[in-house]
Amino acid sequence: MEPDIATAPPQPFRPPPSSVLSLDFEQLKTKLSGYLKPEDVGRVEAAYHFSADAHEGQFRISGDPYISHPVAVASIVADWHLDAQALIAALLHDVMEDTHISKAEIAERFGKTSAELVDGLSKLDKIEFRSQEEAQAENFRKMLLAMASDLRVILIKLADRLHNMRTLDSMRPAKRRRIANETLEIYAPIANRLGLNNIYRELQELSFEHKYPMRFRVLSKAIRAARGNRREVVGKVLASIEERLPQWGISAEVQGREKHLYSIYRKMLEKHLSFSQVLDIYGFRVIVHDVPACYLALGALHSMYKPVPGKFKDYLAIPRANGYQSLHTTLIGPFGTPVEVQIRTREMHHIAESGVASHWLYKEDEKTLTELQQKTHSWLQSLLELQSASGEATEFLEHVKIDLFPGEVYVFSPKGKIFNLPRGSTPVDFAYAVHTDVGNRCVACRINGDLMPLRSELRNGDQVEIITAAHANPNPAWLSYVRTGKARAQIRHFMKNAQQEESVALGERLLNQALRPHGLTLGQISNFAWERFLRDRGVRHKKDIFADIGLGKRLPVIVARRLSQAQDQESGRPNVIKPKPAGAIQIRGSEGIAVQLARCCQPIPGDPIIGTIRKGQGLEVHLHDCPVVAKLRGDRGRWVDVEWEPGEERLFDVTIRVLTKNARGVLARVASAIAEEDCNIQSVHMDSEQGAYTALNLTLQVHDRMHLAKVMRGVRRVPEVVRIGRVKADGRA
């Protein structure tokens, strides 16, 4: 699967005796015989020999024959009791990339399902990408989408990555760090999301060791030294728990465990602690028979040691998204040492360690496994939604990364349904978690019955109600505070579609205007001329040309000239139609994304205006005398004549500067004068001037230039007002 990690050119030394490899496979066969039928073991053995022949002469950078890697991956997969098809795919997962074997040949020999699994695990080596990052993102997208159709793809991939991480020592330090970082960012969180706790922890530890080798060694040494100092505490706590639980009539298995290095390191990093300040490096696990016994054991422990307030978490009543269930509590143990305890049933312990792989490992707890499968299925479906909403592969990967980190906030719908969201999520994230349409139509929210802003941060236990409107649309400002990948992807998807539609409409109007000097209109351009124009430029549809013009990627005057030439060639004679004036594009000011009113000069209806085409942003409307436009005078191809469409009833922002004498209540009198003219104040900024004067910068909402003039006349009547003027693009009134 990962030739850059594992594969090297043939080495000059002789390979180890084949008996060593056959011994590895014999151990795998023994493992498989414990749960597979003999005929299935035979099919897996046939895949082993096929893979060994295909990889003949290939070696890993460590010097081991390459076949040792697929056998190790299959052995990890066998620990989860996956079926024969998955084991065959594990043994063949690199043959499509590293050898001449095709998908069709695998399908013919071992079946279509195994071939599909191998294909889902194979990289896109035949496609050229602009960068390493883009290639990596596209490979992840392919793998994650294959996982959405068959979960075994990611289980084999995680086994593949785990073995590569275990044998990473032979790589260059820079490559080790890159692979370790990729594992921490993608593969470890995926293992966690699927509930594969053992794999998750081992990938974290191995990544920490290779990404920060010096820190890993120092912390390992400190842990070894601390073991001797804290052995007495651990032994005393363990003995106390084992003695107390039977007194309460509880039969339990008690395990003491040392926290993993990476989790200690993260705690030190996040809380700015030294190692000596991290007291709870040991934890305990209490495994009981049923759920009532979990709560009874909790009471027994709390009667023995005092619990730390705020450190109790009930993941039995509200399981984590990956199906994990336990009671967590932190106690003050002997000598004031904090002790973390997890309490769970045997079935919960299976799922905590093996997650979705429990489906294959443990068949007895069907109800719990079914719930876990439903949660996993929902997450996989959300990947497909992200894929459809995300354009670029890098964008898709960014959204997946956001969602891979475990959620910490549990909120409720008005009907009592629980939603698990990342910490820092807002009602907008909640709305998209409920349904894409709810998110798109969201206008307001109630949190615990109170109307609250959509950017409010949700807390554990909040009840959230989303208020929707039929004609509402996503707000681009939401992107600044949403946390979930789904919300971010859907908002961007809507904005892209809206921009596309508006750009097509604007581009059509701009091209029609540019054709008028040639004596043509869009309706007069023949299909022959369009086909010739599109073919010469490698474009499939004229809508793409309109969109490019609307977004400023093509100049309408140049497109009009080329279309006119194509039209003349069809008729076989020069254009003798009398040219017409180009005319002006009418602007309403409410077109949306494709047409924007410049913030520098804030044009309003009644102002003389001009449009400029900005690449990738569409048409921007400025005042005729705007200093920003004056700098662009030379580039005439990007100028567009525009005028206001009559009768548009909407409000436009405009800023005025009012110089007043310092006097009590002057701001209130100015605001009152503005309100009397039916005008709203958006914002106020005050500047202290020299002497006894104050400058007020007020952003107002007006209908047009005449409305602004009425407002300014009203403000002039306030006795304390010395001077008033509209703020220009250079900031002066």
Nearest Cα residue to 52 out of 78, 83, 91, 84? 91
pLDDT tens per residue, range 192-242 = 878 788 888 999 999 999 999 999 999 888 887 776 666 677 778 888 898
How far apart CA 66 and CA 49 sit, in angstroms, is 13
pLDDT tens per residue, range 574-632 = 544 455 555 566 666 555 555 778 888 888 888 888 888 776 566 788 888 888 777 66
Rounded to two decimals, the pTM is: 0.60
How far apart CA 65 and CA 55 sit, in angstroms, is 8
53 is an active site residue? no
Q: Residue ranges of the alpha helices (H) in 392-450? A: 393-404, 427-434, 436-440
pLDDT of residue 15: 42
Report the largest interatomic distance among the alpha carbons of the chain, rounded to a whole angstrom.
106
CATH (one of 3.30.70.260, 3.10.20.30, 3.90.650.10, 1.10.260.40) for 407-483: 3.10.20.30
Dihedral over Cα of 623, 624, 630, 632: its sign: positive
Low-confidence ranges of the chain (pLDDT < 70): 1-23, 123-149, 227-231, 279-280, 356-408, 499, 570-594, 615-618, 631-638, 647-649, 688-691, 729-733
What DSSP character marks residue 456?
Answer: P
**Token duo for residue 301:** 């422990």
Domain 215-368: assigned CATH number: 3.30.460.10
Whether domain 3-171 has CATH 1.10.3210.10? yes
Residue ranges matching CATH 3.30.70.260 in the chain: 652-726
pLDDT of residue 129: 44
Neighbours of 623 (CB within 10 A): 21
How far apart CA 518 and CA 501 sit, in angstroms, is 27
Would you say 24 and 70 are in contact if contact means Cβ atoms under 8 Å apart? no
314 is an active site residue? no
How far apart CA 714 and CA 671 sit, in angstroms, is 10
Q: Residue ranges of the alpha helices (H) in 305-435? A: 346-354, 358-361, 366-389, 393-404, 427-434
- Looking only at the bridges linking them, the beta strands covering 442-447 and 464-468 are antiparallel
Q: For residue 34, report the phi and psi dihedrals to the nearest 5 degrees.
A: -75, -20
Bridge partners (DSSP) listed for residue 687: 695
- Order of strands across the sheet that contains 442-447: 450-452, 442-447, 464-468
How far apart CA 219 and CA 700 sit, in angstroms, is 60
Residue ranges matching CATH 3.30.460.10 in the chain: 215-368
pLDDT of residue 128: 45
Query: Annotated catalytic residue: which of 79, 98, 205, 365?
Result: 98
Q: Is 15 helix (H, G, I), strand (E, B) or coil?
A: coil
Burial status of residue 98 (CB atoms within 10 A of its CB: 0-12, 13-18, 19 or more)? middle
How far apart CA 331 and CA 311 sit, in angstroms, is 9
Question: Could you tell me the fold of the domain covering 652-726?
Answer: Alpha-Beta Plaits (3.30.70)
pLDDT of residue 19: 44
Residue ranges matching CATH 1.10.3210.10 in the chain: 3-171
Quote the percentage of the chain above a pLDDT of 90. Answer: 17
Would you say 690 and 638 are in contact if contact means Cβ atoms under 8 Å apart? no
Q: Is 159 helix (H, G, I), strand (E, B) or coil?
A: helix
Residue ranges matching CATH 3.10.20.30 in the chain: 407-483
Query: Annotated catalytic residue: which of 2, 64, 94, 97?
Result: 97
Size of the chain in residues: 733
Would you say 351 and 325 are in contact if contact means Cβ atoms under 8 Å apart? yes
How far apart CA 163 and CA 58 sit, in angstroms, is 17
